[in-house]
Amino acid sequence: PDRTMLTNDPSITAWGWAVLDWQSNILKVGCIKTEGSQKKQRIRKGDDTVRRISEINRVLLRNIKHYNVTYILSELPHGSQNARAAVMIGVVAGIAQTISDTLGIGIEWYSENDAKKCLFGKKSVSKQEMIDKITELYEVPWTEVKYKDEGIADSLAIHYAAMEMSSTLRLLKNRNK
């Protein structure tokens, strides 16, 4: 395929993603689910976190290579209920930024609120409202698995916000026509 972009809703438990061409056609969507298993395997939390990072990296890198991804968009994770959640926010942001830096692929970060404001003009939106709105705007091959479709919808909401807000993307889109 020609040059493409990867858009992300990063999370250690359910990382939603989509690959699109520069005309906003969806080529592939997915949601990377990882589960903690340190108790079952009797390993340290840190070792289990590293295993989960590797699972996410493998899927993202395989798709970046297969679809010739030349630009990355990502939601910037935010908020946390506790220290463990705060660590995971740093981990998932680090995954996307490290892939960008290592492969020399540009990345832009957007907030969840950027996406909601671009799509709805407000900050408070339900998961189902997000899925319904994304269905109006994109031809999405939904999985019919609730958590997966929520992650995919959120990743596409970041794409929509980026296409609305980014002067860099507008330039790159025109160059890739």
pLDDT in tens, 92-132: 999 999 999 999 999 999 999 999 999 999 999 999 999 99
**pLDDT score of 80 more than 80:** no
The strand order across the sheet containing 14-21 reads: 26-33, 14-21, 4-9, 69-75, 106-110
Total-model pTM: 0.91
Output the CA angle 100-155-114, nearest 5 degrees: 95
pLDDT at residue 1, as a whole number: 57
Average pLDDT of every residue of the chain: 92
Q: Per mean pLDDT, which range of 12-21, 33-42, 71-80 is the poorest?
A: 33-42
The whole-number average pLDDT for the span 68-75 is 97
